[in-house]
Amino acid sequence: MSRASSKGPDLNEQTPASPTPFEFFNEIGIINQLSTTQFRNVLPDGIHPSHFGVLNHMVRLGDGKTPAQLASAFQVTRATMTHTLSLLEKRGLIRLTANERDARSKLVYLTDEGRAFRNAAIGAVEAMVGNVFDAQMLDHLAGALPHLRAIRQRLDENR
């Protein structure tokens, strides 16, 4: 094995134009950075998009999950998820209860306040988006959703 191959690709070699998948995920990454920054600006002080993500996940897929299950879903450490859940609990957006099946863990439930917060945040996003996109662009976004969901599902199945 050559020295260059043991370290990875030789980045000094001429490469063809970026392949479509790279360009696709690069655009998604940039869109994520820009939209997350705008979203952070409409959230209350101390609440981050990642905190909102937990609330949104619980609305979409149901609550009653353990912190370990949530950490796995978000691909973060248990310590990171514990910190996030602690903040959400202090704000009254979730409640933690004993897990009757496993006394070593807890279960996470969304409160009415948490559900209302999530819905208000989505309303703020809709207002933000209304300032950026016209009706034609919103139609393009709606048309792209099935394709994006299929890509997400494929990536999730292969993690």
Q: What pLDDT was estimated at residue 2?
A: 46
For the chain, state the CA radius of gyration: 20
C-alpha span between 77 and 90 (Å, rounded): 20
pLDDT along the chain (159 residues), means of 10: 54 65 93 91 87 95 95 95 96 95 92 95 85 89 94 92
Do you know the residue count of the chain? 159
**88 closest CA partner among 127, 43, 129, 130:** 43
Domain membership flag for residue 70: yes
Among residues 96, 150, 91, the alpha carbon closest in space to that of 121 is found at 91
- Residue 133 counted as domain residue: no
pLDDT at position 16: 58
Please state, in angstroms and rounded to a whole number, the distance separating the CA atoms of residues 81 and 89: 12
Domain membership flag for residue 65: yes
CATH number at residue 75: 1.10.10.10
Report the domain count for the chain. 1
131 in any annotated domain: no
Give the phi and the psi of residue 147 in degrees, each rounded to 5: -70, -40
Please name every residue paired with 97 in a beta bridge, in sequence order, or none if there are none: 107
- Would 100 be classed as within a structural domain? yes
Is 154 part of a structural domain of the chain?
Answer: no
Q: For residue 110, give its domain range.
A: 46-121
- pLDDT value at position 43? 87
Tell whether 156 is covered by a domain: no
Tell whether 138 is covered by a domain: no
pLDDT at site 18? 66
